Structure 1
Amino acid sequence: MSIVVSLAVAVAVLLLMPATATLRTRSPSVLPAFVSLPSAPQLRNRLMHRLLRRQARDSRRRRSLRLVDAMVCELRAGLAPRAALLAATSTLTEPLCPRAAAAAALGGDVASALRADAASLGLPLLIGVGVCWQVSESTGAGLASGLDQLLVTARADEEVRAEVAGQLAAPRATARLLAVLPLFGLMLGSSLGVSPLGWLLGSPGGWAVLAAGVGEIAVGLWWISRMVARIERDLMGHVKGAQPR
């Protein structure tokens, strides 16, 4: 139990340690080789930034689904396309397509505005909405039916994403576990009366080993993330190809 408590304390210290604290050493000869390595707060900030960016992307994708669903409902209720778009955007708690909403209100080119919003937000669904809008204006085809088919496809893609995320949850958890395993070794050495941290931070050889270890962990995490991303792309392609059309 004491090892677990010590591990938790060590993780907290590493994550909360200021960047300058990691550079204090009695061996300045090996300091330049270690300065280029990211500190614990920098690694934490990068991971948090990546997590927040993924959450924001998922939130925008879900809001785009609600937007198209609301547009279909408004169109089937009898509203004109521009009025339906404005009514649908008003149901969102956060603005999603400001250019398209402004174009709809001012009589501008809504299809081009939707493509611009899609490019700035990374939302392919809005590109599809813009295409349906342009086809409806040029041919007179019903916009509601086109958006309805687009919505069915987008929801199927979301189901695929959820299935792939579930299949890759175990590999991602394994990668995180492997990243913290060296801390268990440090805590085990401390519990046996050895001072691994003192040697790592108090001698040139220790700094070299620490730099090599951190570098290997970083390369390993990068390699695993690339491998998982490739598997995710392959799985999404296979699952989409297996869906009935």
Structure 2
Amino acid sequence: MKKKMIQTSKPHLIWDGVFSSWEEAVRSAGGADGEKGFSNERWFERILDQLNSFRAEIKEFGIAVPPRPTNLPAIVSLTNSKTIIDIGGSSGWIYDYLNSNTLSNRIRKYFILEVFDIVSRSKRFAHPDKVQYFTDYKKLRSCDLLYTNSVIQYFPTNEHLLEIIGQVKPKFILVDDLYAGDNEEFFSNQISYEKKIPHRFLNFEKFKKEVCKEGYRLILKQPFHTPILGQYQPKPMDHFPKEYRLRYSLSVVFQKNN
């Protein structure tokens, strides 16, 4: 009698490898970095489809769950923010989401900082004039709220974020899906569409210290709830050494000191 072979599926890897530097992660990814990873036709069509699907559901039902979880509507309402700068704002779906919610105030300007590949085709998103795309943060001025959602991990350091903060001097900063914990800062590769994208895991205390040094104080820190592989669960990092495992990402809010 032949023995039946029991096949077990391998766990889906989201991150692969532990590196001590950004440069090592880039080499392992074949020279790709955060900008190159999100500068291709496949990515653009994906975010455009998400935006159109979201708009279609809003039009038909008057309510819809956004493409990604976000805490922005609550923070906008509580802080009475009217001008927003969104780092890595993709298709600008979150502006549509803000408009679909009942807010205590109306957004006057929504600026999105993105890579050139997305900015050059941003007219296809068909936003109103109050939504504007930029590649150069130095062209922006002050704002009420600086926002970013699952973007900081694609920067090799915090320097770029700190430069933007120094330029636009927001009253509040909201960072959703921040990959930071008690771990020492390290780097890995995110597997996306069978390609590798360098990914940074931050040390939270270091991140907090650097932002506060710009004249801010932390007023909120909480776990960020986002589905992974279709489920709400801890980050699937059991294949990493224990000291490099991050259970959940964070949502944090900073307020400018008076």
TM-score with structure 1 setting the length: 0.26
Larger helix share, 1 or 2: 1
Larger Rg: 1
TM-score with structure 2 setting the length: 0.25
Larger strand share, 1 or 2: 2
